[in-house]
Structure 1
């Protein structure tokens, strides 16, 4: 072993610069927009899924059920997104970040 040879320690990697407050705000807005998009998509899909589902009397909600069915679809979709969704928001956010040059 040659003790006179300089040690081959790796050079420290360049530290990435911390994102600015503006960039963090933009990333947050993009994430929220992507989640809102996924919730809207899921709401439409759930609405279509439950479109023809109905209950027979005396348990049907009549006109009120039809009026509030979309609210139920929206609430279920938002809850699905809060619990991880189906992965659509991640893809949408990634593409939006790429378009903004933030990858």
Structure 2
């Protein structure tokens, strides 16, 4: 899935305050967290339609062509409206991992 959350979602009311600064590492982490939540929702919602029979309104060979697009749009809509809360947890874990990671100095800065 090559979907990307639009920049407008980065500045949504559900975004943490630090993630509202365009181009910051917090904004990138928030965007990645939202993208992950969207992929999760797409997978979860896609499973709902697996057992649909031929006689149901959304069943049959004719609807298989657009069912994936419908599920993708459902996932985008849910994540743009605040999602299921998964993005907040992922964002906190991403920021925590970045803060805990050791900082590396550039290779050419050796003490003299």
TM-score by length of 1: 0.66
RMSD between aligned residues? 2.7
Q: Does 1:69 align with 2:78?
A: no
Deviation digits for residues 7-57 of structure 1 (CA, Å, limit 9, x no counterpart):
xxxxxxxxxxxx8xx996211111011001001000000000111224528
TM-score by length of 2: 0.61
Unaligned runs of 5+ in 1: 1-18
Which deviates further from its counterpart, 79-88 or 45-54?
A: 45-54
Q: How many angstroms apart in 2 are the aligned matches of 1:23 and 1:71?
A: 29
* Greater radius of gyration (CA): 1
CA gap 1:89/1:60 in 2 versus in 1, 3 angstroms: closer
Structure 1 ranges of 4+ moved more than 4 A: 59-62
Unaligned runs of 5+ in 2: 1-17, 101-112
Higher relative CO (Cα under 8 Å, sequence separation at least 6) belongs to 1
